[in-house]
């Protein structure tokens, strides 16, 4: 090759089909939905144990009142998680 010429780059794609096939099997078997449902169950159980569920049912809507006695960061993120789940139910396909 002449010194004034730049070689064209070669694009090479490397991937192993086995992991891709395995993840496809997990998706088709509904594993992501199952794990999402389990996570929601754990969050709802925590809400019940901490009193957050009772406060939500009683009509309290101010975040400070809802998360009283809880870690502020965790409490606000649990509320955000529940709001997202309310708008995107776990039964919806991913």
Task: Give the pLDDT of residue 93.
Answer: 47
Distance CA 69, CA 55 (A): 12
Distance CA 65, CA 10 (A): 60
Distance CA 91, CA 37 (A): 9
pLDDT tens-place string over residues 36-76: 999 999 999 999 999 999 999 999 999 999 999 999 999 99
pLDDT tens-place string over residues 3-39: 678 888 888 888 888 988 999 999 999 999 999 999 9
Q: What is the reported pTM?
A: 0.67
Task: Give the pLDDT of residue 90.
Answer: 53
Q: Give yes or no for a contact between 69 and 55, defined as CB atoms under 8 angstroms apart.
A: no
Domain ranges of the chain: 29-87
Which residues make Cβ contacts (< 8 Å) with residue 65, sequence separation at least 6? 55
* Residue with the two structure tokens 């090479």: 12
Q: How far is CA 7 from CA 2, 3, 47, in A?
A: 10, 10, 61
Task: Give the pLDDT of residue 76.
Answer: 94
């Amino acid at each position: 090759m002449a010194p004034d010429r730049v070689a064209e780059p070669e694009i090479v794609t490397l991937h192993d089909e086995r992991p891709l096939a395995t993840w496809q099997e997990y998706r088709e078997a509904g594993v992501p939905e199952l794990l999402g449902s389990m996570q929601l169950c754990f969050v709802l159980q925590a809400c019940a144990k901490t009193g957050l569920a009772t406060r939500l049912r009683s009509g309290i809507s101010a975040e400070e009142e809802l998360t009283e006695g809880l870690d502020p960061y965790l409490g606000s993120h649990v509320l955000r998680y529940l709001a997202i789940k309310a708008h995107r139910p776990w039964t919806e396909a991913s």
